[in-house]
Amino acid sequence: MSQRREFVDRPDAGSNDRLKNAVEREKAHYDEHRRYLLHFLEMDKTAFDRWLIRQILRTWDRQIAFIRSEWIRDRVVLEVGCGNPRVLFLFREMGAREAIGIDLSQKFVETGLKQKRTYVHTRSPAVRPEAIRLIYGDVNSSITDGLAVDTIACFQALHHIDLAAFVDTCRRLLTRRGYVIISDPVGDHPLRGLGNLIGRMSGLLSPNERAISPGRVMSAFADGGFETVEFRSLNPTLEIYFQLTELLTPLSGRLAFYAKLPMALLRPLETALENTLLKLFPRLGWRYFAVFRKED
């Protein structure tokens, strides 16, 4: 099966100018290679490097640990804001009938297609470009007209997207009893302002993105005819540390990479906090994991 790529560069006739401009700014931001957060995936030169990458991704890809096989197996899965399409390769290994990715930036996506191997959480799925389908454009535009999927995943990308339009898009694209799987920053975290400052200093955050509170996201999906299947608060400390190490990237990408070593040592503490503190105070998680099901 050959890899299929689609690109439509036309706005809907009635699109709001502000939203169109925001989409264009997002695309421009992620077309710049220096902005790529996952640059450390390319530093897998030694066995130690590969081990450290997996340890870092146990935090960055934390949501993968909670994805149930029935949400993926034998289903058509769409990842919104797929970026480096490594998770699409994982979905195929998990048994997805078809794995489709959509992203604004073709340049961003193609960085992941150039690698001989990739990493997701603790796994190393094969890079098989012919096994996935890629669409370049805005998920909330007419580019997705006629598309029907069983599961929509959106990992660390919802805060780049207009929420109300996205809920409508999910309702439009999903088949009966389809799922939406989201992992995104907690917008009302007490230190979110500091995190945004660090992100802007390091060049990781685009001018547009704004983290949304999980409560607002759940309300939007409830109003759109979805029920909440699962909710978890994640990553109370290590993702903040991750962002701090990224301040070293302008000096040396490899220095920033090795500075992440303590993440491997502190992972057991992070898990313990998720299972205790975050159950009582979910706002203290840096990120959340939520699953919604389309009601009949």
Q: Look at residue 196 and tell me whether its pLDDT is greater than 80.
A: no
pLDDT band at 9 (very low <50, low <70, confident <90, very high): very low
pLDDT band at 240 (very low <50, low <70, confident <90, very high): confident
Q: 3-class DSSP state for residue 227?
A: strand
d(CA 112, CA 42) in angstroms, rounded, equals: 9
Task: Tell me which residue has tokens 């890079």.
Answer: 127
Residue with the bigger pLDDT between 96 and 7: it is 96
d(CA 120, CA 118) in angstroms, rounded, equals: 7
Q: What is the CATH number of domain 4-294?
A: 3.40.50.150
Q: Look at residue 204 and tell me whether its pLDDT is greater than 80.
A: no
Contact 234, 63 (CB under 8 A): yes
Q: In the 8-state DSSP scheme, what is residue 98?
A: E
Of the listed ranges 64-78, 108-122, 148-162, the one predicted with least confidence: 108-122
pLDDT band at 8 (very low <50, low <70, confident <90, very high): very low
- The tens digit of pLDDT for each residue in 117-133 reads 899 999 999 999 999 99
Task: Tell me which residue has tokens 């990479």.
Answer: 257
pLDDT (mean) for 14-39: 58
Note the pLDDT of residue 281.
96
Of the listed ranges 113-117, 240-244, 257-261, the one predicted with least confidence: 113-117
Q: Look at residue 262 and tell me whether its pLDDT is greater than 60.
A: yes
pLDDT band at 199 (very low <50, low <70, confident <90, very high): low
Nearest one of 141, 155, 135 to 91, comparing CA atoms: 155
Q: In the 8-state DSSP scheme, what is residue 63?
A: G
Note the pLDDT of residue 15.
45
Q: Look at residue 200 and tell me whether its pLDDT is greater than 80.
A: no
Distance set, CA 58 to CA 74, 110, 209, 228 (Å): 26, 24, 24, 25
Contact 232, 289 (CB under 8 A): yes
Q: What pTM was computed for the model?
A: 0.87
Note the pLDDT of residue 12.
46
- The tens digit of pLDDT for each residue in 62-85 reads 999 999 999 999 999 999 999 999
Q: Look at residue 34 and tell me whether its pLDDT is greater than 60.
A: no
d(CA 180, CA 257) in angstroms, rounded, equals: 32
